[in-house]
């Protein structure tokens, strides 16, 4: 079964750090670009970051640029995002999503909740 499973969410104080992981299975992970998308409580979807299939090219939303770092380990079939200097407004469910070609997200994980609060 094609699947993405996020982990690493939790409660963190403002200014703190967290690393999220997204474990891929059921497909050849190294062939696909990947994205992180987040959704604040009761809010809409917001794109966060992109990484190409080789891990060479990355892109970020302005709101996280300089604080978040996306990466991947194709040998471990895992996508990551290192989140530093966390703010209250980073509180959200974070989804990883597969770019299935044509830049559309054909597979989504179940999401992991990040709460930034003192």
Partner 1 sequence: DIVMTQSPLSLPVTPGEPASISCRSSQSLLHNNEYNYLDWYLQKPGQSPQLLICLGSNRASGVPDRFSGSGSGTDFTLKISRVEAEDVGVYYCMHSLQTPITFGQGTRLEIK
Name the burial class of residue 27, with classes exposed (0-12), middle (13-18) and buried (19+) by CB atoms within 10 angstroms of its CB.
middle
Applying CB under 8 A, what is the total number of residues that bind partner 1? 21
Judged by CB under 8 A, does residue 103 bind partner 1?
A: yes
* Contact region with partner 1 (CB under 8 A), list: 15-23, 43-51, 69-77, 78-86: 43-51
Judged by CB under 8 A, does residue 45 bind partner 1?
A: yes
Backbone φ, ψ for residue 94 (5° rounding):
-105, 125
Among 8, 27, 111, 115, binds partner 1 (CB under 8 A): 111
Q: Which two tokens stand for residue 71?
A: 């990466």
CB 78 within 8 A of CB 27: no
Taking the least distance from each CB to partner 1, the nearer of 23 and 61 is: 61
**Cβ 13 to partner 1 shortest distance, Å:** 27
């Amino acid at each position: 079964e094609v699947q993405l499973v996020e982990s690493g969410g939790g409660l963190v104080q403002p200014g703190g750090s967290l690393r999220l992981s997204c474990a891929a299975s059921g497909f050849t992970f190294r062939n696909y670009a990947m994205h992180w998308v987040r959704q604040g409580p009761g809010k809409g979807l917001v794109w966060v970051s992109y990484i190409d299939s080789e891990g060479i090219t990355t892109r970020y939303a302005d709101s996280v640029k300089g604080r978040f770092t996306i990466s991947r380990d194709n040998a471990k079939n895992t996508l990551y995002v290192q989140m530093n200097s966390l703010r209250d407004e980073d509180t959200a469910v974070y989804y990883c999503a597969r770019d299935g070609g044509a830049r559309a997200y054909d597979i989504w994980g179940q999401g992991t909740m990040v709460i930034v609060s003192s």
